[in-house]
Chains A and B, each alone.
Chain A
């Protein structure tokens, strides 16, 4: 019989050691490799991942629970990439945040987002009717704007049972960046996809995951999984989202303790597949752009999806340039893991991302592409804060532009 872990009666090190990804906590060698890899090491000169682990192991975890550092961390996982003892910093940080949440010390904006999410099924508090109206209106607007699109081309029948694909968006798409949402509508149309959306579940994000609130995080996953099952789809397609996609793909079965019974794909994977199959018609190099790619931590480092966005960009853009370092060693945009949504970090997240900024500028690219809404938001803010001479776009957005070029 396995011992259950009560987070309030066990010390933090014990709690973390019982997690998948935290089991090697006590075997930390203090090798220090993580120290160099954290992009916060200038912003917090007296903190680093190793110090955090030492404090937790020495019974001083509460200092970390009370710290700003755990909320400045983006859960990017770069520090523990190649960790000789396979510690996973994102798992450790989320447990520290969970303790802070129980002590009432979690950032209010995120806590409220989770409450709204649990109540409404999405973190922006939109009801089904408003969502339906928004989808309809955005589809009609796009049909009018694009030459060659007929009325009704972009109309999508919601809640259609038996469709191949269930697409779940990120609320950012249909609130602050509607042109992004229209790109996905057009993407599925041009690919002649057999797809649907849900009128009830239209938020791929999971802010409870950010808070280390495992129970609520599982509830949110359960809602999405149940909806995909109800609609009897073959595949749940995640928008260009980092953490939401990563959770469904990598954590959901373990959290729920059962097979999902359907496939989870990222829209970026579909784009690559369909482009290679010739299902989307694009003239090679259709976009006159020198483009570079930011690897989102969740899509890249945590899910290993590195080549898909590159193949798409290399096909559609005149020129593709790599940042260094990239792929598994990519530097975080600085806005992940709740930092982008946490109003307390609004100013600091742009200061902390100077290394990222310099890395981007060194490429000389005129377009910065990525495949995560969170990264897009942060990189857009970075662009305007530092007046970087480039445009920030999603890979799918660029693909649709290439199709229409």
Chain B
């Protein structure tokens, strides 16, 4: 095939969604340009830890390294890290001119494309506005993502200390999710499973820690996710309905909460509290949506064409992949990205046939 006639696809975002799309398209003979704002590929997942205990817990964190390897070694994928999408023009019905700007040196580079995939991801909720929980004020309160990164770097001791004393750690679920008061009245879909996996992962190395998950109701949908719940029960992870609404710091640095237990208000003390923060839209999602001519939903995620067409958008040849369109866990993100790639392939192959 003449390489000049080869349609090229621009993918905005080099996290697992963008990487999955790039792999799938390049596997099918398309060339792609992958634009990533950060200086390295991999997005959030790159800094998260494998949650395997004595068995794989299907967190899918490992997928990111394989994807990076495949994409970086592929001749068909051109990777532009440290770069942002600056403008998107459409000189012809089936062609885009994408202006890419290098964030460090300001250099601009035009890329021609037959399709554009937006896979820009999400931003983790910043819980500091929830003053009652004291994130950023009380030492000992961290987000699940921060804890994940500590485990990944094998630096848990930097947070919990070197002492051998058993620790009491609690997870607070639905932080920044299912919350109408902040415009995020949706389930982030990954935090329950992520917290359960993290609790099990910690249990492996710290058998004497008391680990508690405070939840509203556990969302463990999925073929394999249910087993996390039975594992948690088997491994004596305390699962308690109701999320404490206030964390009160004590003079010795420990954290006091109040909850209801069998109809009576009781106080409990914890050493560390982990806020399982939800997925929120990117802060600059409106810039992206206006550049691409897309719409956002009432939460601020990019809107896809429809429930049965969750990867195409109102703009022909512009697609969404992954969490930029709404919260997902890693497995769902990879699945969604696969569907997006399939839609791109179908549309571009279809137009090729029409041209012939």
> How far, in angstroms, from A325 to B217 measured CA to CA in the complex?
29
Q: A84-B180, A85-B180 are in contact. Are A35 and B241 (CB under 8 A)?
A: no
Contact B245 A36 (CB under 8 A): yes
Identify which of B131, B181, B216, B258 contacts A83 (C-beta below 8 A): B181
Of all chain A residues, the one with the shortest Cβ separation from B256 is A36
Q: B244 — which chain A residues lie within 8 A by C-beta?
A: 32-33, 35-36
Is A73's CB within 8 Å of the partner chain B?
A: no
A31 and B216 within 8 A (CB):
yes
Instruction: Mark interface residues in B34-53 (1 if CB within 8 Å of A CB, else 0).
Output: 00000000000000000000
Q: How far apart are B309's CB and chain A's nearest CB, in angstroms? A: 30
Is the Cβ of A325 less than 8 Å from the Cβ of B241? Answer: no
CA distance A79 to B130 in the complex (A): 13
Residue of A nearest to B249 (CB): A324
Q: Report B122-146 CB contacts with A as 1/0, cut-off 8 Å.
A: 0000000011100000000000000
B97 at the interface (CB under 8 A from A): no
Most chain A Cβ neighbours within 10 Å, of B130, B132, B214, B244: B132
Please name all residues of chain B whose beta carbon is closer than 8 Å to the beta carbon of A24 when the two chains form the complex.
Answer: 180
Provide the B259-280 mask, 1 if CB < 8 A to any CB of A, else 0: 1100111000000000000000
Q: Which B residues touch A37, using CB under 8 A? A: 132, 245-246
B232 within 8 A of A: no
CA A29 to CA B217, docked complex, whole Å: 9
B243 touches A33 (CB 8 A): yes
Restricting to B98-151, which residues have a CB under 8 Å from any CB of A?
130-132
Chain A residue numbers with a CB within 8 Å of B260 are: 32, 35, 48, 50-51
With A32-B259, A35-B258, A51-B260 given, is the CB distance from A82 to B181 under 8 Å? yes
- Say whether A173 faces chain B, with CB atoms less than 8 Å apart: no
CB atoms of B181 and A32 under 8 A apart: no
Would you list which residues of chain B between 177 and 216 have a CB under 8 Å from chain A?
178-181, 185, 214, 216
Find chain A residues with CB under 8 A from B181 CB: 82-84, 86
For residue B257, CB closer than 8 A to chain A, the reply is: yes
Q: Report the bound CA distance from A34 to B260 in whole Å.
A: 11
Tell whether B82 is near chain A: CB-to-CB under 8 Å. no
Interface of B is mostly: mixed
A residues contacting the other copy or chain, number (CB 8 A): 27
A328 within 8 A of B: yes
Which chain B residues border A42 with CB–CB below 8 Å? 265
> Is residue A259 contacting chain B, with contact meaning CB distance below 8 A?
no
Distance in angstroms between the alpha carbons of A329 and B133 in the assembled complex? 11
Q: Looking at chain A's contact residues, is the secondary structure mostly helix, strand, loop, or mixed?
A: loop
Q: Which residue of B lies closest to A85 (CB)?
A: B180
Task: From the candidates B174, B241, B257, B263, name the one contacting A51 in the complex (CB within 8 A).
Answer: B263
Within 8 A of B (CB), among A311-356: 325, 328-329
Cβ contact of A46, chosen from B185, B241, B246, B263, cutoff 8 A: B263
Determine if B310 is an interface residue (Cβ-Cβ < 8 Å): no
The smallest C-beta distance from B127 to any residue of chain A, in angstroms, reads 11
- CB of A30 closer than 8 Å to a CB of B: yes
The verdict on A84 contacting B131 (CB below 8 Å), with A32-B242, A33-B245, A51-B260 known, is: no
Interface: A104 (CB within 8 A): no
User: What distance in Å separates the Cβ of B215 from its nearest Cβ neighbour in chain A?
Assistant: 9
Determine the residue in chain A with the shortest Cβ distance to B214.
A32
Contact A45 B259 (CB under 8 A): no
B131 surroundings in chain A (CB, below 8 A): 325, 328-329
Q: Which residues of A contact B216 (CB under 8 A)?
A: 29-32
Determine whether A41 belongs to the interface, using a CB cutoff of 8 Å to chain B. Answer: yes
Write out the residue numbers on chain B whose beta carbons fall within 8 Å of the beta carbon of A30.
216, 241-242
Q: Look across to chain B and name the residue whose beta carbon is closest to the beta carbon of A79.
A: B245
Shortest distance from the beta carbon of A391 to any chain B beta carbon, whole Å: 27
B174 touching A31 by the CB < 8 A rule? yes
Residues of A within 8 A of B263 (CB): 46, 51
Given contact pairs A32-B260, A35-B258, A35-B265, a sample of 4 additional A-B residue pairs in the complex whose CB atoms are under 8 Å apart: A33-B244, A45-B264, A46-B264, A86-B181
Residues of A within 8 A of B (CB): 24, 29-37, 41-42, 45-46, 48, 50-51, 79, 81-86, 325, 328-329
> 10 closest Cβ contacts across the A-B interface?
A32-B242, A33-B245, A84-B179, A36-B245, A36-B246, A36-B258, A41-B265, A31-B216, A36-B244, A37-B245
A-B contact pairs, 28 of them (CB 8 A): A24-B180, A30-B216, A31-B216, A32-B214, A32-B216, A33-B243, A35-B258, A35-B259, A35-B260, A36-B132, A37-B245, A41-B258, A41-B265, A42-B265, A45-B264, A48-B265, A50-B242, A50-B260, A51-B260, A79-B245, A82-B132, A82-B179, A83-B181, A85-B180, A86-B180, A328-B131, A329-B131, A329-B132
Chain B positions near chain A (C-beta within 8 angstroms): 130-132, 174, 178-181, 185, 214, 216-217, 241-246, 257-260, 263-265
